[in-house]
């Protein structure tokens, strides 16, 4: 049975909050273990793929980063 397809750079929400109060994490490593970085405090942790799949509630939509050209155009206006 194939697991949840995680990719490096994905932002996910876990069921339980981190001690800092954050629920959202960014994936930085894929393998048998999933490496995650807390988006609130920056702490990194590793979870087994199975635990990561069970604890994941959903995916967080990443905001698009404005390019330098767009920010220059808006500054000129």
Report in angstroms the alpha-carbon separations of 19 from 1, 16, 30, 51, 52. 33, 9, 24, 18, 17
Token pair 């959903």: residue: 58
Could you state, in order of their start, the residue ranges of all structural domains in the chain? 11-76
Cα atoms in the Cβ-side hemisphere of radius 13 Å centred on 51 = 10
Q: What is the pLDDT of residues 30-68, one digit of tens each?
A: 988 999 999 999 999 999 999 998 999 988 765 554 444
Does the predicted model carry a pTM greater than 0.75? no
How far apart CA 9 and CA 30 sit, in angstroms, is 10
How far apart CA 74 and CA 20 sit, in angstroms, is 36
């Amino acid at each position: 049975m194939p697991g949840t397809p995680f990719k490096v750079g994905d932002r996910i929400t876990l069921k339980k909050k981190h001690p800092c109060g954050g629920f959202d994490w960014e994936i930085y490593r894929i393998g048998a273990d999933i490496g995650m970085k807390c988006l609130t405090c920056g702490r990194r942790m590793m979870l087994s793929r199975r635990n990561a799949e069970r604890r994941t509630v959903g995916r967080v939509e990443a905001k698009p980063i404005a390019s330098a050209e767009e920010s220059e155009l808006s500054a000129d206006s």
